[in-house]
Structure 1
Amino acid sequence: MVLTTASVPDQDKVAYWRAAVGRALVPVSVAPRDDGPFSGRITTDRLGCLRVSTMEADANRVSRTPELISGSSEALIAVGVQVSGTATMVQDGRRAEVSEGDLVVYDTARPYSFDYPERFSTHVFQLPRHALGVSDAAIDQAVGTVIGPMDGFGAVLRPFLSKLATSVHSYSPAIGGMLANSVIDLLATLVTDGARPVPAEADTARSHLVLRIRGHIDGKLGDPNLSPELIARTHHISVRYLHRLFEGEGTTVGRLIQQRRLEECARELARRGRTSPTVSAVAQRWGFVSPAHFSRAFRTAYGLSPREWRSLRVEGVAAPRPDVLPVAALSAGGRA
């Protein structure tokens, strides 16, 4: 089944799309984010008790309300594969940021919302909750969560689901039924894996990776091209996973880079000697391309200009410690 707004009059497109999503997936409310004509296309097919759909649409907000849920006869578990674009999903008080390549698990029998800020595409796999054969506790723990493209079992499952979604129409009913049983087993594994507490050894490995990345940043501070994207590529992880690693560090990767650059500049400017490099030379050595940007960031962090800092330190007057940046430094942000 293919449903599209392509031939629908502009004034009827949103209502048509709401009905199309309700027919292919579950009834939801739809609120476009833009004023122009709305565009959407959804294809859906079945593999046994498994419904497989691919949805592409303009920016919009989708909500599954208690009123809509009360009119549904069956509780379904859904697994979405974000093909393009981003989304913010909320269910059971959990807020999940969904990026390209992520898997997201949700329960159609509970209120939820998806906010798509731009045009997007996603595959959706729906099956009866009871068909999973896993405990309610495991399902409750897994719904409303995102599994990144490099995270656990999701890294193995995502390519398979993406391929299956684009070829589901090519299988005979007999093969489709066999495939459905296999997919349900895989989705049950995904839910169980998502509900499992992180083992101590995995947490240790994550800590080691953070330390390795911090060491890499320290060794590359002079490279003006140092960025989260470059760091993630060097360590063979996604940018999203890199940011997740640093959520527990109390800072972002971009802020850490700038903080470490400012610390090294402050230390070098404070050294006493017969000959001292210029302020711009120090800034350039530690990765700052723009002297003006460096001066602003330095003053925000230390409350002094680089020249004032140097004069005070050379004269032996007390100044803020270069190894402790004030909170204001963290708002300077980003890549220098």
Structure 2
Amino acid sequence: MSLTTIMTHSPTAMCDARTARTVGFLHVRTVRGTAQSVRHDPHHDPEGDAVTEPYVLLGIHSLGRATLVRRGSTEVCLPGDLFACDGAEPFVLDEEGDFELHLVRIPRRALTLTDRQVRELGGRVPFADGTVAPLLGPLLRDVAGSRPGQTPRTELRLAGAVADLVGLLAVEDDESGPGDSGPVPREGGQEREALMGRLHAYVDANLWDRNLTPASVAEAQHISIRYLHKLFEGRDSTVGRWIQRRRLEEARRELARPGRDDITVSAVARRWGFASATHFSRSFRAAYGMSPSDWRDGRTRPAA
């Protein structure tokens, strides 16, 4: 995997300060300075900050106005505007004056996002509006500005909150949902498409409920069970298997977060609506070819 790099390119201006720290599984870097270009080059890192796995990079200004250049296009970044990109993609920020920039690196393994969702997230213009960005932006600034001394558990939970919001941000305008493998079916018009979006949102919000069943989903959406099953025809999945898959995906993501040795497999099973730890372990092994404990042990070792 390539490296995260912040380099200045200005004949007259240099960075006044750079700070870097780790918060849970997040790597946070703050850059302050005067008018200059700040570049992210995934192929070169003079600071030796080695990155060995895919990641998503978030950026937000506390101070200053900049022009973001990426993928051959330019976009304006104002204070509070949030942007995201695949860490393997280069970009340049042309800072117009005094600035303070926070860059937060999140391992892809901490996010339940497809490659398509990461690409689409990296192509969105800087934003501060919507449902998720007003929550995520201030949290990123707080994480970047927090002082060392917090307990490892607190830092991991802060990192987990950031990862959860990034996942929501990526699917905020994507009706296929974080666990969907294809587009929303369009036959039947806009009403069917809107209904599928509501179904995904309802299930994702109620995965914790052990009583979440096709019958309860149909009742909540005021449709018959027969019609609910008809919506899933041709999707290589039944409603029940889809609910099970979403629960497994979220449980796997939680177990993969670095340093989560303090949470038991049984607690994760309860959190995501499984009737018992035995049922969860059996379903997990059938889906992923290993036990939940083996998955966690292989994914949550804190980086050196």
| TM-score, scaled to structure 1 | 0.45
Could you say which structure has the higher helix fraction?
1
Relative contact order (C-alpha < 8 Å, sep 6+): which is higher? Answer: 2
Q: Bigger radius of gyration, 1 or 2? A: 1
Q: TM-score, normalised by structure 2?
A: 0.50
